[in-house]
Amino acid sequence: MIDKGANPPFQGLDPMGRKRKTDSPLPKYVYLAKGRYVYRPYRDGKIRGEILLCPGDSPISKVWQAYEAAIAEHDVKRSLSWLFAEYFKSDLFRSKAVRTRKDYESYAKRILGAKLRNGSLFGEVEIDRLTPGVIRKFMDSRPAKVTANRELAFMSAVFSWAYERDMVKLNPCKGVSRNVEKPREVYVLDDDYLLVYQLAGKRYRYLQPIMELAYLCRLRLAEVLDLTKANIKPNGLLIVRRKNSRGNITTWTPRLRAAVDQALALPRKIAQLHDDKHHLIPSRDGGRLRESTVQTAWQRLIKEALESGLEQRFTCHDLKAKGITDTERADKLAASGHRDPRMLNVYDRLPPLVKPSKE
């Protein structure tokens, strides 16, 4: 039960509009207005909207009863779990790509389920108690340091969203440094590429044009699957990249033209009437193929390739790195679409060839 004696006596208007004094205290932020009692919660430095409690002629005991019911319903615990739930209901979250939403939901599940030393869950911590120091300790406690970086980025995005809407006073993730990540160094050899490509033709025909487009146009898997007939231009293939990378047009070569033709020849049950709906790599119904479908087939293909003499396991994303590595040095940044030259440290995976110094 809430302590009713903690508030000073209420002074206000009775239902008839006359000034009166009463020794019966009202709950904090409860007022008599326009002939009825209302509750206006105070949160984050602001008075929030009115919540109607009961008529103005109700006894004080009835006011307290309605107030306690209101705070039980409306004054939820502002925990990290609550904040994530609010974000997942937002238009911003719903506007994200399907893969991004799934990744965010996966990060949230791991973050909220992380156990603290006292046995409670991290998701139960009130957001007003989170500081950069608390976030740093959380980062240090995570077993997978690279995954912890993704979790940090997700939490920072949620707090930035909440800060813009006056739901939090600060973003506790700001200023928290990421864990050091060692760049991936896998470079796909031509012989390994050819081996996997030939095996794909026997079981997963659609993987062949995916491999070629990822390599020749230096694309992420999602970007390959985004391609439609509308991307086919007279001077080349229009590349629209994700993650704020720059797009470009990859000019036609016989090999690129063959890869596009191979994609267009893939069977599809429904022929899309509009070019922007006609995906180069189709699903069974002719729409966009799911990344999860490709990844499942890829893992099976690589397992078979390892049994057939593949020297080194590689991913679809490694084909983008191979494409950037095999591009002329002066063209690497523009061809990759990256805005930051430092990204070449991640995707350019062979040392540059240089001439010996003059004797």
Confidence at residue 269, expressed as pLDDT on a 0 to 100 scale: 80
Question: How far apart, in whole angstroms, are the C-alpha atoms of residue 146 and residue 172?
Answer: 20
- Residue 260's SS3 state is helix
Confidence at residue 51, expressed as pLDDT on a 0 to 100 scale: 85
Edge-first strand order for the sheet with 248-251 is 232-233, 236-239, 248-251
pLDDT grade, residue 121 (50/70/90)?
very high
Say if residues 15 and 35 touch (Cβ distance below 8 Å). Answer: yes
Say if residues 324 and 338 touch (Cβ distance below 8 Å). Answer: no
Average pLDDT over residues 132-146: 92
- Write down the architecture of domain 190-347 according to CATH: Orthogonal Bundle (1.10)
Confidence at residue 359, expressed as pLDDT on a 0 to 100 scale: 59
Confidence at residue 5, expressed as pLDDT on a 0 to 100 scale: 40
Q: What are phi and psi of 13, to 5 degrees?
A: -110, 145
C-alpha to C-alpha distances, 253 to 97, 186, 275, 319, 349, nearest whole angstrom: 31, 26, 22, 18, 24
Confidence at residue 75, expressed as pLDDT on a 0 to 100 scale: 55
Query: Can you give the residue ranges of every domain in the chain?
Result: 4-74, 80-163, 190-347
Provide the percentage of residues in the chain whose pLDDT is more than 90.
57
**H or E segment and range at residue 88:** helix 80-88
pTM: 0.63
Cβ neighbour number for residue 283 with a 10 Å cutoff? 16
Confidence at residue 17, expressed as pLDDT on a 0 to 100 scale: 43
Q: Quick one: tokens of 338? A: 């990256």
Say if residues 301 and 212 touch (Cβ distance below 8 Å). Answer: no
**H or E segment and range at residue 251:** strand 248-251
CA neighbor of 43 nearest in space, from 165, 149, 159: 165
Name the DSSP letter for residue 19.
E
Q: What is the pLDDT of residues 331-354, one digit of tens each?
A: 888 888 888 787 777 787 777 777
Say if residues 118 and 126 touch (Cβ distance below 8 Å). Answer: no
State yes or no: pLDDT of 1 exceeds 60.
no
Question: How far apart, in whole angstroms, are the C-alpha atoms of residue 252 and residue 232?
Answer: 10
N- to C-terminal Cα distance for the chain?
90
